[in-house]
Structure 1
Amino acid sequence: MKNFVILVFGFAAVLASPVMAQAQDHVMRISHQFPPTHHTAIRLEKFAEDVETATEGAVDVQIFGSAQLYKPQQNHAAVASGEIEAAAIVNLQWGGTIPEMAVTVIPYLMTSPQAQKSFIGSEASEILDGKMAERGVQNIGWIVDTNDLIFTSSKGLMVKPEDFQGVKIRGLTPLFDEGLKALGATPVQLPGSEVYQALQTAVIDAGVTGVSAAFTRKFYEVQDYGTASPIFVAFDNLVVNPAWWNDLPEGIRTAIQTAADAAVESSIITYDGINPDDVTALTGAGMKVHVLNDAEISVLREIMQPAVKEAFLAETGEDGEKLISLISAE
């Protein structure tokens, strides 16, 4: 008998047959929003293979990507309640639930490879692990999603602050959007699935996304120009249900954690600046791409960073101050 996935009014439950229950001692269902070609989706597939190999099949890792089971905003509650064992959640999506998680969104605070490596396992990351634990999930991995963004436009390159004046641009998060507002732009909140059409029909003037994502989402078909820069780091947190996690035999937990650590290690960006292969992909598709130099970055940083920091500290207070101090010192 095969596994069945039952969808009822958007709610998903996975029922395993008695045969399957006997074949594996433990089931680890992971929900995430990423399409199959996304680098985190690929890493999670490798994670599943590593776990099943290390446990000799005692753990059946079942991955449900592309928001098959839950919408991105539902993953936290699903794991915390025990409806599912695990999920990968983009740290930008914790929003008002854990406002301190947005510290990585502060422009130009921690974009270098060394800053990423220093953060993982640091006091700052442990503080945020604790914040997640307080809200019912245990984080077992800080998987690096991206450290770059590209501002796309059909009218021209967006390099200087004046290039952003009056531009309707796709926003990312309310916090990061404070930086866009400081540049004179007007952020518009849109789901990722609607951005291409909004750009195509000029509902918005400009887009903002990861450099590699601009290619996979085919922004080059509707946008002639792109301005790329390493602005902030986005992480995908691999979180598990604490009760499920603590009930696992120690050897099984160790195998899962080792596989998660390997996924994190493989995700750390090792190059400074923008991946030239991502730029080549976009230029080869016809987009004119400019990578900001240090002087150009300095101008944007001086405008964007204070605005985002102010908004961040208004929400997080002393904890936010401590996180910024710790990350700045790393």
Structure 2
Amino acid sequence: MQRYSQKYNGTKNIVLTVVLLLLLGVLFNSCESGPDTKTLFFAHSLPITHPVHKGILDMQKFLEEKSGGKLQIKIFPDGQLGTEREVLELLQIGSIALTKVSAASMSNFAPEYQVTSIPYLFRDSEHLFSVLEGEVGKQLLASGTEYLLRGLCFYDAGSRSFYAKDKAVNSPDDLNGMKIRVMNDQMSVEMVNTLGASATPMAYGELYTALQQNVVDGAENNIPSFVTSNHYEVCKYYTFDEHTMVPDVVVVSTKFWNLLSETEKEWLQEAADESVERQRVYWQETIKENMEVLKKAQVEFVYPDKSRFSDKSRPVLQRMMKDPKMKEVIEKILEN
């Protein structure tokens, strides 16, 4: 825990969080909240209004039903237990059982996930889902196992696009000189820099203030995150360039997974799988609701020529194709 005390020294709230994490570690290691019950701690960074959180609630319900209450999920949303990277590290040491992170965050631990962040690799959502439900999806979910992070399923996270404070982004040329917040992963940084902006990695929870204080000029994300974060209060331009379709991943700690019986593993996997379709419905419903919110807030929507963004970002794909392992995965995706 020395890492946490150094990082958050002097902040009372964070000290309390560290204490909570220690307590959670103790509770998790015992694994039981009753003689026949195991409780899985599930931490993620999204608010409870987000469609991904709603999918997790279904997973929670399905697991309790399948197990007859023997396996239960306790959810810690809204970044209560840390950033995506910090929570993944907690899974690796076995302090918590489950999380939901962006596939981009997983790429910092399991490199094969980088393919999901290649701009314009997926033609549309149908192509994306077909890939994720097939051989490539299974390969990606399994790729984190050697890093103690087993993927259970993918959730829909829509397409990511640029949004900005002071001007509309109609083409890559408009990104020149702009500081754009990105997730802390190599592919996101490379993509934004290739398109002409200055990529600025930053924790999601810090972004609202950074936008207010002109630390960054804009960011890139999907519509539900743009709304639930209230970033639309600061940024009045949203460009539907849809440069990436990075899914979310539900991940279980292998330290916990290996403690489960074969029957318990089946319950958990089935609950995750069955929550996927429900989560996709929540996503589409939320998109419709959010678009109305943005219209009322007078956010300007920009529908650019996406080919200009695709053409300029091509070097990212070309670089990835130089890696034989990545080339094999990319070719499977393109052939799908």
- TM-score w.r.t. the length of structure 2 is 0.83
Match in the other structure for 1:166: 177
Equivalent residue runs for 1:139-158 within 5 Å: 139-144=151-156, 146-158=157-169
Distance 2:311 2:281 in 1: 25
- Residue matched to 1:13: 23
Q: 2:207 aligns with which of 165, 179, 195?
A: 195
How far does residue 270 in structure 1 lie from its aligned partner after superposition? 10
Structure 2 residues not aligned, in runs of 5+: 1-15
Deviations 1:252-290 (A, max 9, x none): 322222210012223347999x94543332121111112
Contact 2:161 2:244 in 1 (8 A): no
Deviations along 1:119-172, whole A, 9 cap, x unmatched? 22322122222321111222211122x222232223321011221122222223
Q: 2:312 aligns with which of 297, 303, 321?
A: 303
Q: Is the 8 A contact 1:211 1:228 kept in 2?
A: no
Q: Supply the AA of the counterpart residue of 1:12.
A: L
Q: 2: distance between equivalents of 1:247 and 1:16?
A: 15
Which structure has greater helix proportion?
2
Question: One-letter code of the match for 1:286?
Answer: Q
Structure 2 CA distance for partners of 1:242 and 1:205, relative to 1, 3 Å = closer
Match of 1:25 in 2: 37
SS in 2 for 1:119: helix
The 5 Å alignment of 1:231-246 reads 231-246=243-258
Distance (whole Å) between structure 2 residues aligned to residue 300 and residue 53 of structure 1 = 46
Gaps of 5+ in 1: 1-5
Number of aligned residue pairs = 316
CA gap 1:74/1:51 in 2 versus in 1, 3 angstroms: same
TM-score, normalising length: structure 1: 0.85
2:224 counterpart letter in structure 1: S
The question of whether the paired residues in 2 share the 8 Å contact of 1:147 and 1:231 is answered with no
Q: Would the aligned equivalents of 2:170 and 2:303 in 1 still touch at CA under 8 Å?
A: no
Change (3 A) 1:92 1:301: same
Aligned to 1:3: none
Q: Are the structure 2 counterparts of residues 153 and 11 from structure 1 closer, same or farther at C-alpha, using a change threshold of 3 Å?
A: same
CA distance in 2, matches of 1:308, 1:130: 25
Cα distance in 2, alignment partners of residues 269 and 320 from structure 1: 31
Deviations along 1:277-326, one digit per CA (max 9) or x if unpaired, are 4333212111111234xxx011110111x232244456xx2111011101
